[in-house]
């Protein structure tokens, strides 16, 4: 168990602009080769946790004030994104952020920034292999692609960097249900075939827990629950608050929503 | 008709140089949203460095040219390192005021060394470079301006389209957080865009120096002239900068030729006002790709 720890977040607190505390003692561990999903409602601190790892807090004036983040045993908290990406951690930002005025292929080439000067042909083929839909649009400006293509593009772009740890922030956001399924299947394949360790932040708890091996639930800047994905799927609280099931296990009826509001157990 | 053609050719060549120097300005704006008020001074510095190398140091012209460009590259890089980098993350207005300060500093420095006199380069362009088709006569300088201008335009075009570093630079201009998340060295991109902008300014400085002579005040005022050019072309469009430059160059020479030479320098700014009224994003400003 202690052998394959790729990422260890140790009781970190994150403060924005020196006053706004967002994370209050978050700890989590990611083993090599795992898919770990991080669940929670809006504003729980999931994205902030990812940004603390990838170093992207800095440009937003955020800082890890307590605790430590170890990647492969080395401390990386408050390091610059340039260093962290070169260590092998790539974050895919929330809300699909392609370079709109670059073509698909140019977008993918930006993914090689951490390995500037090395050949990238083979990696392009690898991305097109995972996302065949991108192949015929390689010369199109990314800004003119559909939402689904953009999501494939930003994941593919991150793969170009050969990440050892891939942080995915809400890849299902605003996509059609059928397409969400496809994206998740591809994420699982990337994990299986490339051995890429993945941290997956999701609102779509159902899909996330299907492909993840382990899960954490966040609430108000704290981890409130953790466990193996299949256990979390069966947990009554997770079921009710994140999977949209009633306490009894049946799909919740809209009729009952207002009449009786069960409080989350951990609050 | 001869006069018209002559003006047309002069206007296009001058306009080409305006466009070239505006390109450097646009490059900095695109990557870091900084308006560089010291652009004219960097341009003048290029011209004077070339003068010093060609006359004082007696270097062969080609070598002097290359060394000047290298010098401009280093200057741009150093400016970014020393003055701009500490201000990353500070409000933009402070960065812009810094460039205003830099402008005075450079201008003062050059006045100190060379004074406000008008210098000329030694004759080095071969007579054969000029075009002489009966009615149309193009002096060698203008031919050189167009050749050098197109050559570097092509070079930069290829650089931005195909080289990895060029693509990284465009990615930073496009979406900085995303570029950061992929490990693009954003600070290096800023430094590189300042360096390239200085090189481009240096080239236009040299060629304008060949055409009009070298004078600190004259050359640094070009820095102000890039404003009408880039506003006309669209602040964030490199090809727009070239076309804006051509239009302003033509307007200037035609006004100078047909109306009055004293109006010449005012026309660009009148155009600027009208363009801002009618098409505030410029003729070729990026049409925002909006997706809902």
Domain limits of chain A? Answer: 32-63+76-88+163-267, 101-159
Paired tokens of A216: 């954490």
Question: What are the angstrom distances between the C-alpha of A237 and each of A240, A241, A247, B105, B269?
Answer: 5, 6, 8, 67, 68
What is the rounded distance in angstroms from the CA atom of residue B75 to the CA atom of residue A211? Answer: 53
On whether the CB atoms of residues A156 and A187 are closer than 8 A, the answer is no
**Residue A174 confidence class, pLDDT cut points 50, 70, 90:** confident
pTM summary value: 0.84
Read off the pLDDT of residues A219-240 as tens digits, 9 standing for 90 and up: 889 999 999 999 988 888 888 7
* Contact with chain A for residue B112, Cβ under 8 A: no
Q: Report residue A47: phi and psi, to 5°.
A: -65, -40
What is the rounded distance in angstroms from the CA atom of residue B99 to the CA atom of residue B220? Answer: 13
Give the whole-number percent of chain B exceeding pLDDT 90: 35
Task: Kindly report the CATH class assigned to A32-63+76-88+163-267.
Answer: alpha beta
B57-64 long-range contacts, CB within 8 A, separation 24+: B61/B124
* Contact with chain A for residue B27, Cβ under 8 A: no
What is the rounded distance in angstroms from the CA atom of residue A147 to the CA atom of residue A149? Answer: 5
**Distance in Å, alpha carbon of A246 to nearest chain B alpha carbon:** 34
* Contact with chain A for residue B160, Cβ under 8 A: no
Cβ contacts of A213 within 8 Å, gap of 6 or more: A34, A35, A36, A228, A229
Read off the pLDDT of residues A15-55 as tens digits, 9 standing for 90 and up: 999 899 999 999 999 999 999 999 988 888 999 999 999 99
Q: What is the mean pLDDT of residues B59-82?
A: 93
**Distance in Å, alpha carbon of A173 to nearest chain B alpha carbon:** 13
What radius of gyration do chain B's Cα atoms show?
19
* Contact with chain A for residue B190, Cβ under 8 A: no
- Kindly tell me if the per-residue pLDDT of A1 is higher than 50: no
Question: What are the angstrom distances between the C-alpha of B240 and each of A24, A139, B16, B237?
Answer: 50, 22, 12, 5
Of A117 and A5, which is predicted with more confidence?
A5
Strands A35-40 and A20-31: unpaired
Nearest to A236 by CA among A248, A224, A218, A252: A248
- Kindly tell me if the per-residue pLDDT of A70 is higher than 80: yes
pLDDT of the residue at A118: 83
What is the rounded distance in angstroms from the CA atom of residue B49 to the CA atom of residue B51? Answer: 5
Which residues of A fall within a CB distance of 8 Å from B179?
99, 110, 113
SS3 of residue A87 by DSSP: helix
Read off the pLDDT of residues B168-227 as tens digits, 9 standing for 90 and up: 998 998 888 999 999 999 889 999 999 999 999 999 899 889 888 899 998 988 888 888
Q: What is the DSSP letter of A141?
A: B
Paired tokens of B237: 């469009």
The CA-CA-CA angle for residues A185, A186, A189, to 5°, reads 90
pLDDT of the residue at A69: 95
Helix boundaries (H) for B53-128: 61-79, 92-114
Q: Compare all CA atoms of chain B with the CA of A160 and give the residue at the minimum distance.
A: B182
Q: Report residue B125: phi and psi, to 5°.
A: -75, 130
**Residue A81 confidence class, pLDDT cut points 50, 70, 90:** very high
* Average pLDDT of chain B, as a whole number: 87
Paired tokens of B151: 């050559």
Nearest to B143 by CA among B128, B156, B158, B162: B128
Mutate: best of B181, B186, B289, partner A, most A CBs <10 A: B181
Mutate: best of A110, A116, A156, partner B, most B CBs <10 A: A110
Using an 8 Å CB-CB cutoff, list residues of chain A that contact chain B. 54, 56, 59, 61, 81-82, 84-86, 90-93, 97-102, 106-107, 109-114, 116-117, 141, 143-144, 147, 154, 157-158, 161
Q: What is the mean pLDDT of residues B87-101?
A: 87
Nearest to A167 by CA among A187, A186, A182: A187
On whether the CB atoms of residues B42 and B71 are closer than 8 A, the answer is no
- Kindly tell me if the per-residue pLDDT of A208 is higher than 80: yes
Which residues of B fall within a CB distance of 8 Å from A151?
none
Burial per residue of B95-131, b for 16 or more beta-carbon CB atoms within 10 angstroms, e otherwise: beebbeebbeebbeebeeebeeeebebeeeeeeeeee
Read off the pLDDT of residues A120-162 as tens digits, 9 standing for 90 and up: 899 999 999 999 999 999 999 999 999 889 999 999 999 999 9
**Residue B133 confidence class, pLDDT cut points 50, 70, 90:** confident
* Contact with chain A for residue B164, Cβ under 8 A: yes
Q: Measure CB to CB from residue A143 to each of B89, B181, B289 and give the nearest one.
A: B289
pLDDT of the residue at A99: 93
* Contact with chain A for residue B180, Cβ under 8 A: yes
Cβ contacts of B268 within 8 Å, gap of 6 or more: B225, B228, B229, B248, B251, B252
Of B38 and B91, which is predicted with more confidence?
B38
Q: Compare all CA atoms of chain A with the CA of B237 and give the residue at the minimum distance.
A: A101
Q: Compare all CA atoms of chain B with the CA of A120 and give the residue at the minimum distance.
A: B164
Strands A222-228 and A214-219: antiparallel
What is the rounded distance in angstroms from the CA atom of residue A48 to the CA atom of residue A69? Answer: 13
């Amino acid at each position: 168990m202690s052998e394959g720890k790729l990422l260890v977040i140790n009781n970190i607190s994150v403060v924005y602009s020196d006053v706004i505390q967002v994370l209050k003692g978050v700890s989590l561990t990611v083993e090599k080769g795992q898919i770990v999903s991080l669940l929670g409602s809006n504003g729980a601190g999931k994205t902030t946790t990812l940004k603390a790892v990838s170093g992207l807090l800095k440009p937003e004036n955020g800082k890890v004030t307590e605790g430590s983040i170890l990647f492969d045993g080395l401390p990386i908290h408050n390091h610059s994104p340039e260093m962290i990406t070169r260590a092998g951690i790539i974050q895919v930002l929330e809300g699909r952020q392609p370079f709109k005025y670059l073509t698909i292929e140019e977008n993918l080439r930006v993914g090689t920034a951490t390995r500037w000067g090395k050949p990238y042909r083979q990696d392009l083929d690898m991305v097109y292999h995972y996302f065949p839909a991108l192949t015929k649009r390689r010369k199109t400006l990314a800004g003119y692609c559909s939402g689904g293509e953009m999501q494939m593009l930003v994941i593919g772009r991150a793969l170009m960097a050969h990440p050892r740890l891939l942080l995915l922030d809400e890849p299902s956001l605003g996509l059609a249900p059928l397409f969400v399924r496809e994206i998740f299947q591809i994420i699982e394949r990337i994990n299986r075939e490339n051995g890429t360790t993945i941290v997956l932040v999701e609102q779509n708890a159902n899909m996330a827990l299907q492909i993840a091996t382990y899960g954490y639930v966040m609430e108000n800047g704290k981890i409130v629950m953790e466990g193996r994905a299949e256990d979390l799927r069966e947990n009554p609280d997770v079921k009710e608050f994140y999977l949209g099931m009633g306490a009894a296990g049946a799909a919740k009826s809209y009729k009952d929503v207002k009449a009786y509001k069960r409080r989350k157990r951990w609050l | 008709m001869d006069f018209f053609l002559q003006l047309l050719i002069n206007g296009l060549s001058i306009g080409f140089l305006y466009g070239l120097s505006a390109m450097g300005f646009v490059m900095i704006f695109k990557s870091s949203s900084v308006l560089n008020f010291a652009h004219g001074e960097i341009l003048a510095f290029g011209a004077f460095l070339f003068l010093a190398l060609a006359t004082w140091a007696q270097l062969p012209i080609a070598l002097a040219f290359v060394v000047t460009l290298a010098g401009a590259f280093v200057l741009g890089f150093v400016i970014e390192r020393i003055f701009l980098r500490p201000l990353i993350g500070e409000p933009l207005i402070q960065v812009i005021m810094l460039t205003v300060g830099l402008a005075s500093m450079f201008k003062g420095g050059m006045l100190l060394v060379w004074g406000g006199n008008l210098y000329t380069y030694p004759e080095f362009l071969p007579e054969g470079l000029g075009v002489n088709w009966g009615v149309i006569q193009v002096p060698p300088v203008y031919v050189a301006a167009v050749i050098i201008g197109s050559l570097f335009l092509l070079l930069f075009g290829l650089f931005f389209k195909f080289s990895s570093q060029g693509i990284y630079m465009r990615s930073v201009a496009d979406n900085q957080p995303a570029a950061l998340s992929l490990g693009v060295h954003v600070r290096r991109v800023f430094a590189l865009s300042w360096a390239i902008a200085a090189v481009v300014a240096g080239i236009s400085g040299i060629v304008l120096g060949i055409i009009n002579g070298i004078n600190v005040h004259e050359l640094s005022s070009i820095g102000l002239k890039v404003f009408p050019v880039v506003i006309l072309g669209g602040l964030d469009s490199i090809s727009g900068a070239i076309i804006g430059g051509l239009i302003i160059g033509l307007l200037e020479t035609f006004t100078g030729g047909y109306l009055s030479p004293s109006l010449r320098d005012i026309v660009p700014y009148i155009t600027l006002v009208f363009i801002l009224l009618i098409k505030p994003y410029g003729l070729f400003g990026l049409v925002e790709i909006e997706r809902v």
